[in-house]
Amino acid sequence: MSKIWIDGNFVESSEANVSVFDHGLLYGDGCFEGIRIYNGRILKLRSHIVRMFKSAAAIRLQPQHSIDEMEEIVRETVAINERKDGYIRLVFTRGKGTLGLNPFLCPTPTVFVIVEKIKLYPTEMYEDGMSIVVAKRPRVPKECLDPQVKSLNYLNNILAKIEAIDAGVLEALMLNQNGEVAECTGDNIFIIKDGNIATPPISAGILNGITRRLVIDEIAPALGYKIEQRTIMLKEVLDADEVFLTGTAAEVIGVSHIDEQVVGCGKVGKITHALEDQFRKIVAQNAPED
């Protein structure tokens, strides 16, 4: 049984509770980060916490801890759970308040840290590739809900995820309201054509994922590739030689089928494999924590 850090105390997971009057539960009013642990090191911990505080600032939620203090709390939670490899979920909620919408009637945010093991996709998918579908449900426009705020309101993603599950697969590609490729329900997407790699820009209405940035800034350049961030239409994805997804939990994983269409050779492609191998080499040897 794991220990959860919640509002200043470590408690057994079976005893960790959030009030039914917490606005995070009532209205999805809060933000979160998912973070990975590899061989005792916390991948991009600082980047995740900085993004968390930006999300909190965007919704005018003021946590009771500084960035440095929050980083130490996360490290303490990992240590007390003696977890060398696993997954961290850091959550800020608005806290306990009234049944009305007014967030400023919630005097104290709720903060908790969970450290657990995780296995998002079956191991064989990293060799054979995964099948995805194109969701009928578009992404919420960024003007309505900025995807850079990693909020607790994930219903748009969940409804698209249900489309994937109903189709017998684990992920769905979402388009924005202009019909441009945005992202999947929990992962960023990349395409490869004639050796050139591209991914949708932030302006498409996507989360600027930490793993996405790691691939763009470090992993691809280490292999001699430059990734173009540009508008991508669905036809380009369907015509691509390779397609792959990135995410904290998913890592780097190739796509074999989109709806009924085969992608490339129907398995993980050569370049995707190289990127995946480079990712695993980095996290196995000395996962960057900045």
Rounded to whole angstroms, the Cα distance separating 207 from 199 reads: 12
Rounded to whole angstroms, the Cα distance separating 88 from 37 reads: 8
Going by C-beta distance under 8 Å and a sequence separation of 6 or more, which residues neighbour residue 248?
34, 35, 36, 43, 87, 209, 210, 211
Token pair of 246 as six digits: 């990135």
Q: Contacts by 5-11 with C-beta closer than 8 Å and gap 24+? A: 5/73, 5/76, 5/77, 5/112, 5/113, 6/110, 6/111, 6/112, 6/113, 7/110, 7/111, 7/112, 10/77, 10/80
Backbone φ and ψ of 90, nearest 5°:
-105, 130
Q: Sign of the C-alpha dihedral, residues 149, 154, 158, 160?
A: negative
Q: Do the beta carbons of residue 115 and residue 81 sit within 8 Å?
A: yes
Backbone φ and ψ of 196, nearest 5°:
-100, 135
The type of residue at 171 is E
Q: Which residues pair with 172 in a beta bridge?
A: 133
Separate counts of helices (H) and strands (E) for the chain: 9, 15
Q: What is the pLDDT of residue 118?
A: 87
Over its length of 290 residues, how does the chain's per-residue pLDDT go in tens digits? 899 999 999 999 999 999 999 999 999 999 999 999 999 999 999 999 999 999 999 999 999 999 999 999 999 999 999 999 999 999 999 999 999 999 999 999 999 999 999 887 999 999 999 999 999 999 999 999 999 999 999 999 999 999 999 999 999 999 999 999 999 999 999 999 999 999 999 999 999 999 999 999 999 999 999 999 999 999 999 999 999 999 999 999 999 999 999 999 999 999 999 999 999 999 998 899 99
Token pair of 2 as six digits: 């794991």
Q: What is the pLDDT of residue 65?
A: 96
Where in the sequence numbering do the catalytic residues fall? Answer: 150
Q: What is the pLDDT of residue 1?
A: 81
Q: Which is nearest to 135 in space by CA: 169, 105, 108, 109?
A: 169
Token pair of 8 as six digits: 């200043």
Going by C-beta distance under 8 Å and a sequence separation of 6 or more, which residues neighbour residue 175?
134, 135, 138, 139, 181, 182, 234
Backbone φ and ψ of 151, nearest 5°:
-85, 170
Residue holding tokens 């303490």?
A: 76
Residue 173 is given by DSSP the state: E
Q: What is the pLDDT of residue 285?
A: 87
- Provide the whole-model pTM: 0.96
Token pair of 114 as six digits: 């969970």
Domains of the chain by start residue, with CATH:
3-116 (3.30.470.10), 125-286 (3.20.10.10)
Q: Which is nearest to 251 in space by CA: 268, 285, 234, 276?
A: 276
Going by C-beta distance under 8 Å and a sequence separation of 6 or more, which residues neighbour residue 221?
none
- Number of C-beta neighbours around residue 149 at 10 A: 17
